[in-house]
Amino acid sequence: MISVFFICLFLTFSFSQFSINNSPSKIETVDGVAAVVENNVILKSDVMQQAFLFAQQQGVDPSKRPSLFENIYLQTLDQMINNLILYEVSLKDTNIVVDQLTVEESLNSEIKRRIEYAGSARKLEEMFGEPLSMIRAKLRLEIKKAIRVESFTGSIYQSVSPTMIDVKMFYNAFKDSLPASPENISFSVFEWPLKVDLTKEIETQEFLKKIKNRVLSGESFYDLAIEHSEDLGSASSGGKLGYFVRGSLFPEYEEVAFSLNPGDVSDPFKTDLGYHIVLLEDRVGEKIKTSHILKKIKSGDVDLEKNKLLFSDFLGEYDVYNYVEKFDSLCAHFSLEGSSFNGIFPKTPVSSLPDFLDKKSLLSTGFKDIIVGEKSLFLIRVWDYNQEAVFSLENNYNEILGLTRNKLINDKILDLINKEKENLYVEKFY
């Protein structure tokens, strides 16, 4: 499973372009090249912008602490160079396949995060100095790079197996700086996808048909998208997605969009995101420019009581409340069948649990009430709970093992980067 955290971290350190023109403490940047890695150019302005963002996150005012900000700038530049080196190395691995669905899911999540950080989509556009459609297009490429690099580094992760001696050496070296073990629970969860009421799907399609007819009658597609679209990334810009080449979007979306003539509006169709209508604005060969209106299928569009009854009948059939091993087996083998999710979560920090969970109710062992999520019902069994505690080899061996592995992986990656520098053209400019 692709780590969303890794992707966000990689994006933060690598290819993002975050304008500071409207930031609270404006900094004048100098155009020019900060570094070159093979055919990739890192601009001074991009490094400055990223460094400024990091400084903001750390509470550092560059105007008051210039020397500290200079250190942040240099660290940022080094990290951007390292990420580009890793990307160049990953291109040599022909076995890496970037899944488009993962790209789109990560893109939507990152766009949402950035909009929330900026305060609104319009403010985000002002920060970047370009429309949201262009931000999405650039960010999509960045995410593809991030996923490729993660896939590559994932193979390194698999190759590292710390010994007990490695763990003890790590603990003795870093025990004074190790954090306390966070409050955590160990639990099993079974996810039951909500079955949408067919009538709601029909209603959604009929609604979009009416929107299409309003467009055909002369109303602005873009104004209607602003008013009705539920795509957080594009609604505020009138549903505009900009130009994309074939293979960049959902297959269902592309199938419809490429069948249209410029100026045409599609009938409603379904993707994993919900129902869409699409306006084809332009097509040049295998490249299209589209706008869309999205209506999602939400938990409010299902008969919850009927779904709860079906779920309860299923659980009763297996008698999971009396035979917890059956429940754990169901979680491991049937929950979200076909994905890498196995339903078993040992020692998970309470602070990292999804917001829709009632965290207080999870601080005790046993089965919990059925939980209603956006797209699914959940049944959770908590089988262990631990309060915050100081790290020790006796009580936190697995956590320390993980930290040891991470350090060994980082060391191995840095060694790889340093060796690859000998084979690549890498130059920094001050």
pTM above 0.75, yes or no: no
Q: 94-115 pLDDT, tens per residue?
A: 888 888 888 998 898 888 888 8
Determine the Cα–Cα distance for residues 14 and 146; give it in Å rounded to an integer.
9
Tell whether the model's pLDDT for residue 227 goes beyond 50.
yes
The angle subtended at Cα 352 by Cα 112 and Cα 402, nearest 5°, is 115
Mean per-residue pLDDT for 227-239?
A: 91
Determine the Cα–Cα distance for residues 239 and 291; give it in Å rounded to an integer.
5
Taking each continuous run of H as one helix and of E as one strand, the counts in the chain are 13, 14
Q: Give me the residue label for tokens 């999971």.
A: 320
Distance of CA 186 to the CA centre of its chain: 24
- CATH architecture observed for domain 180-196+301-390: Roll (3.10)
Q: Please give the backbone phi and psi of residue 64, each rounded to the nearest 5 degrees, phi first.
A: -95, -25
Q: Kindly report each contact of residues 66-74 with a partner whose C-beta sits within 8 Å and lies 24 or more positions away, as own/partner.
A: 73/47, 73/48
Which of 61-70, 173-182, 183-192, 213-222 tops mean pLDDT? 213-222
The two beta strands, 371-372 and 180-181, are: unpaired
Cα torsion angle, 258, 262, 267, 271, sign: positive
Determine the Cα–Cα distance for residues 214 and 386; give it in Å rounded to an integer.
58
What dotted CATH number matches 198-298? 3.10.50.40
Mean per-residue pLDDT for 62-91?
A: 88
pLDDT of residue 299: 53
Determine the Cα–Cα distance for residues 415 and 430; give it in Å rounded to an integer.
24
Fold of 4-159: Triger factor/SurA peptide-binding fold (1.10.4030)
Where are the alpha helices (H) located in 130-197, listed in sequence order? 132-159, 164-174
Contacts of 396 (CB under 8 A, 6+ apart): 181, 389
Euclidean distance between the first and the last CA atom of the chain, given in angstroms as a whole number: 39
3 state DSSP class of 165:
helix
Mean per-residue pLDDT for 380-388?
A: 91
Tell whether the model's pLDDT for residue 181 goes beyond 90.
no
The angle subtended at Cα 234 by Cα 233 and Cα 240, nearest 5°, is 145
pLDDT of residue 18: 34
